[in-house]
Amino acid sequence: MAEYTLWCFAQSGNAYKAALALALADADWAPRFVDFFGGETKTAAFRAVNVTGEVPLLEHDGRRLGQSGVILDYLAQTLGRFGARDDDERREILRWLFWDNHKLTSYTATYRYLRTFVPDPDPAVVAEFGKRAQAAWAVLEAGLAGRDWLVGDRTTIPDLSCRGYLHFADEPGVDWNGYPSVRDWLARLAALPGWRHPYELMPGHPRPAAAVPVGAR
């Protein structure tokens, strides 16, 4: 049995954040497929395991942890990788994690979900979330200007977190050449030993043609 078990599915950028940390650290881990598109996260059985009804969920050493930011923080400690070297770095790491969860992932994931998985979405709603996503991409571009990584001189968990939904570039229809600092940062991350695309790293791709979306991302 693997040391870490990650409840996940291939289309979840939030699950990818944790899966990527585990993969890059060459951890002993295994995915546990969650049939999101089949409605598993809405079942009583799933809610008994994770009351929020969300993915990812990490099992390790008798613990069950939800929320990607919490999981990444935990993995940085248990794996001894991608964490802070001092208190100032820790605060900067938290700043980017909170921003990603509230802005970058929130808007990008919703925009991509509307474009990719929702039949006949309201064009006005899609356009509004597109504007919000583009504003978040511009902030990330500014944050990476003249830098290789978001915090310090190495890969840390904010890099993995902010990258979570940006690998689905064709699905939200973004051309990263318009954001050259983000483009180059994405390439640096993809060059790290152990990196794999979410559709290769986690189970559930391609999803069944008959699958009908049942909730947000």
| Residue ranges of domains in the chain | 4-82+197-201, 87-190
Domains 4-82+197-201 and 87-190 share a fold: no
**pTM value > 0.75:** yes
3-class SS string, the chain: CCCEEEEECCCCHHHHHHHHHHHHCCCCEEEEECCCCCCHHHCHHHHHHCCCCCCCEEEECCEEEECHHHHHHHHHHHHCCCCCCCHHHHHHHHHHHHHHHHHHHHHHHHHHHHHHCCCCCCHHHHHHHHHHHHHHHHHHHHHHCCCCCCCCCCCCHHHHHHHCCCCCCCCCCCCHHHCHHHHHHHHHHHCCCCCCCHHHHCCCCCCCCCCCCCCCC
> Please, what sign has the CA dihedral across residues 109, 115, 116, 117?
positive
pLDDT at 208: 60
Q: pLDDT grade, residue 216 (50/70/90)?
A: very low
CATH architecture of 4-82+197-201: 3-Layer(aba) Sandwich (3.40)
Alpha-carbon gap, residue 28 to 107, rounded angstroms: 32
pLDDT at 57: 98
pLDDT at 213 over 90: no
> What is the dotted CATH code of the domain comprising 87-190?
1.20.1050.10
pLDDT tens digits, 103-141: 999 999 999 999 999 999 999 999 999 999 999 999 999
